[in-house]
Chains A and B, each alone.
Chain A
Amino acid sequence: MSDRKTAVSQRLAVRKTYKLFIGGAFPRSESGRSYPVHGHGGELLGYTAQASRKDLRDAVVAARAAFTGWSGATAYNRGQVLYRAAEMLEGRAAQFAAELCAAEGLAAGQAEACVAAAIDRWVWYAGWSDKITQVAGAANPVAGPYFNFSVPEPTGVVVVLAPAHSSLLGLVSVLAPVIVTGNAAVVVASEHRPLPAVVLAEVLATSDVPAGAVNVLTGRGAELFGVAASHMDVNAIDLTGAAAFDRAELEQAAAANVKRVFYRDEDWAAAPGIRRMLSFLEIKTVWHPAGI
């Protein structure tokens, strides 16, 4: 993006096309549409793909296909994959800081601190992969000759409506808790600050996150949120990014297949706790007789 600031340069920079991230690939919207993204000061930062309802459905199909493998991977493996993503984030820290300066109008120092916090949060969540089961699971002392235990399992395909304003730290704070436990995610990025999400998708694509485990869409909330909420093959939805929308309407749509609905606007700088992870987990209880 440096060519925006330097009118005369030695060589012409190669600009990026901001695309969707579906099933591990970077397609444009099947609708052929894009929309302009403006910086905090109103300047044009570029165009990004405007996902259609069909793109969203494709992303759900990709997520469903990836779910079995991702949820079936060992917790140790998922932890390493997420940690690998943190390594890639670190390597792109300068790029993210530049994106945040443009998108959120942060000063350079603020942007760097925000990127550092996002990377640290990702690492924090990565470490939860092989601990949450012990924290949320149990051996249950039933009154009979049975061995009985409960374990948390991922809910399935989760649509995450990313926070509208905090385009990197907020995004990381809602995505990482969903995927670290084995869910497959479809992220709808902040409508007006989508570019850090696209860069994050590029990071994930070059980590070892399996294709489809995370899908990232940019587009219009008014067009996509309702489809996500009513989609019959989505198991849960995080409405955090729908603060400006009619949540009652979205929750009604979500009731059609008994989706788990989560909404919580947060101070993204604060310590997150484990509530988000627990909200996208199911408790499975297994019984077996004990005997000879």
Chain B
Amino acid sequence: MGSGKGKSEARPTQPSVELADKSAADLIGSGWEYAPAPEARDIVTIDPEYGLFVNGDFRPAAAGRTFPTINPASEEQLAVVAEAGQADVDAAVAAARAAYEQVWGPMPGSERAKYLYRIARVLQERAREFAVLESLDNGKPIRESRDVDIPLAAAHFFYYAGWADKLEHAGFGADPRPLGVAGQVIPWNFPLLMAAWKLAPALAAGNTCVLKPAETTPLTALLLAQVCQQVGLPPGVVNVLTGAGDTGAALVLHAGVDKVAFTGSTEVGKQIASAVAGSGKKVTLELGGKAANIVFDDAPIEQAVEGIVNGIFFNQGHVCCAGSRLLVQESVADAVVDRLRRRLTTLRLGDPLDKNTDIGAINSRAQLDKIRQLSAAGDAEGARRWSPPCRLPAKGFWFPPTLFTDVSQSHRIAREEIFGPVLSVLTFRTPEEALVKANNTPYGLSAGIWTDKGSRILWMAQRLRAGVIWANTYNRFDPASPFGGYQESGYGREGGRHGLAAYLDV
């Protein structure tokens, strides 16, 4: 993991872990010294306490309940946050309704657009502040929050701002109407980015929003609420309710909510779909995945290895579209796995605020437990576990990058979403076999293809049952590019012109 210390200090983290290839570790991993390069933390001011953002102002929860949010890399408390109850949900939905009827709904699209452009610009201006706060609250490396989460969040607002006054040209009829009040529940893996994915298209289409950020990552959504104040967004157009599952349930079930948008686990997505059944609410769901990343024997191996690493270890594998099943053609399997091991030996795990860090902290103790439990199932079912020599910090929640080989289709680690830095390696002989194995899942969010042969890319891309196909790349996102799943990975799309349909009465 190239922790900057001598090899003698590196130790395996699990008793069952094999030692890494010695020569590779000597050559690359522990041979290079890195000085710490921490991003300045004091760029962001964290208040000791945060209220709920309702009708343009922050207020404590009606019942006075609060909960702490911690830095998963150190377990230190960052702030205390209000926990919204039913009365707060009522107030937020009422504020959103009033804003929809009196301000945001009647407002010309060109004026809505300008508010969204303002938000995009402020996100760009204050990007470093957001990036540091995101890494503190979520545990992800600053390199990712700085280069991916925050710029993409700003880009989403910028993209959808431009749609607000062009809806009649979006292909949904001459005068497509918004739905009303949107209740939006988002996950902890990309806290600000998911808020942007939800808010930007909803607001552009003319809806007002009540956003429920994840329990473990409320802070950037609250900073975004402050940005809404800063840009003069009319009160009630965006409301932010912090809380846990009960808060989210109260929001999506609220009779005053016309539209439910949820990103999270398939299990909770099913509960939501069932709970709102028969209500007539429009629902979009972005749920789990178990993506196949398929490497053919003619693939450029070094690029493929980078793509595999990016596919599963980006954001500690806390990615619904993570390439968590590596399907590699048998003839190159050993070569690919060897190079993959060597590459993993060079990954740097540690302080999320260090600019050299590749792998940050697991977001919560609960998630760490889940990753450990599923990895243990991998051991128990006979798969072979490997991690590079890797020193894990004493405090916080950490899991080393992990490879499982000798995995079969029936293993839990090949079927269930782990949502962590754990890659299951399977092999295939023919494109047909790769296709059958890739599609053998109830999910269908994404897939990767690595080959030099163009016709094979298109053949595979046509037949993979997944909403996003990355060919000779992986984990690319763009506001203009629709994202969403087939089957149990959910329905509806976010991004692009298609993303507007989720927030229009079409």
Binding site for B on A (CB under 8 A): 72, 135, 138, 140-144, 146, 148, 150, 155-156, 235, 246-252, 254-258, 260, 275, 282-289
Contacts and interface: CB of A to CB of B under 8 A. Distances in A.
B467 A285 contact: yes
Contact of A284 (B266, B466, B506): B466
Nearest to A263: B280
A258 B470 contact: no
A233 B487 CA distance: 10
Interface string B247-269: 00000000000000000001001
A29 to B, nearest CB: 30
Interface in B422-451: 442
Interface string B458-487: 000111011111111100101011111011
Interface stretch (B111-119, B176-184, B270-278, B329-337): B270-278
Interface of B: 155, 171, 266, 269-271, 273-274, 277-279, 285, 287, 442, 457, 461-463, 465-473, 476, 478, 480-484, 486-491, 493, 496-498, 506
B278 A284 contact: no
Closest 10 CB pairs of A and B: A248-B278, A251-B277, A255-B273, A142-B478, A255-B274, A252-B277, A286-B469, A288-B471, A258-B488, A140-B480
A135 to B, nearest CB: 7
Given A150-B482, A150-B496, A257 B469 contact: no
Contacts, number: 112
Contacts of B488: 257-258
Contacts of B486: 155, 282, 284
A140 B266 contact: no
B197 to A, nearest CB: 14
B interface SS class: mixed
B471 A140 contact: no
25 contacts: A138-B496, A140-B478, A140-B481, A141-B480, A142-B478, A146-B476, A150-B496, A150-B498, A247-B278, A249-B277, A252-B277, A252-B278, A255-B277, A258-B273, A258-B285, A258-B287, A258-B488, A258-B491, A282-B467, A282-B486, A287-B471, A287-B476, A288-B457, A288-B471, A288-B473
Contacts of B478: 140, 142-144, 148
Given A148-B478, A257-B488, 13 more contacts: A140-B481, A143-B155, A256-B274, A258-B489, A275-B506, A282-B486, A283-B467, A285-B481, A286-B468, A287-B473, A288-B457, A288-B471, A288-B472
Contact of B470 (A140, A235, A287): A287
B277 A135 contact: no
Given A138-B497, A252-B274, A285 B491 contact: no
A283 B469 contact: no
B466 A287 contact: no
Contacts of B465: 156
Contacts of B487: 156, 235, 257-258
Contacts of A284: 461, 466-469, 486
A141 B497 CA distance: 11
Contacts of A283: 467, 482, 484, 493, 498
A237 to B, nearest CB: 12
A289 to B, nearest CB: 5
A242 to B, nearest CB: 11
Given A138-B497, A288-B471, A248 B266 contact: no
A235 B273 CA distance: 14
Contacts of A257: 442, 487-488
A247 B280 CA distance: 10
A248 B490 contact: no
Nearest to B276: A251
A55 to B, nearest CB: 25
B480 A142 contact: yes
A180 B491 CA distance: 21
Nearest to B470: A287
B292 to A, nearest CB: 15
Contact of B481 (A148, A248, A252, A260): A148
A287 B481 contact: yes
Nearest to B498: A283
Contacts of A275: 506
A106 B32 CA distance: 86
A270 B105 CA distance: 30
B467 to A, nearest CB: 6
A150 B461 CA distance: 11
A258 B469 contact: no
A28 B461 CA distance: 40
Contacts of B171: 135
A70 to B, nearest CB: 14
Contacts of A135: 171
Contacts of B270: 255-256, 258
Contacts of B481: 140, 142, 148, 150, 285, 287
Contacts of A256: 270, 274
A288 B171 CA distance: 26
B109 to A, nearest CB: 21
A286 to B, nearest CB: 5
B227 to A, nearest CB: 22
Given A150-B498, A287-B481, A258 B277 contact: no
A12 B484 CA distance: 60
Contacts of A144: 476, 478
A246 to B, nearest CB: 8
B468 A248 contact: no
Nearest to B463: A72
Contacts of A254: 273, 277
Nearest to A251: B277
A235 B471 CA distance: 26
A256 B442 CA distance: 11
Nearest to A147: B471
A186 B468 CA distance: 28
Nearest to B490: A258
A246 B155 CA distance: 43
Contacts of A141: 480
A250 B273 CA distance: 11
A257 B273 CA distance: 10
Nearest to A236: B491
A282 B155 CA distance: 25
B489 to A, nearest CB: 8
Nearest to B483: A285
Contact of B278 (A143, A150, A156, A251): A251
A146 B490 CA distance: 26
Contacts of B480: 140-143, 148
A155 B486 CA distance: 8
A113 B287 CA distance: 47
Given A248-B278, A258-B266, A258-B273, A285 B476 contact: no
Contact of B469 (A146, A235, A248, A285): A285
Nearest to B496: A140
Interface centre among A143, A257, A275, by most chain B C-beta atoms within 10 angstroms, is: A143
A275 B461 CA distance: 26
Nearest to A291: B472
B180 to A, nearest CB: 19
Nearest to B480: A140
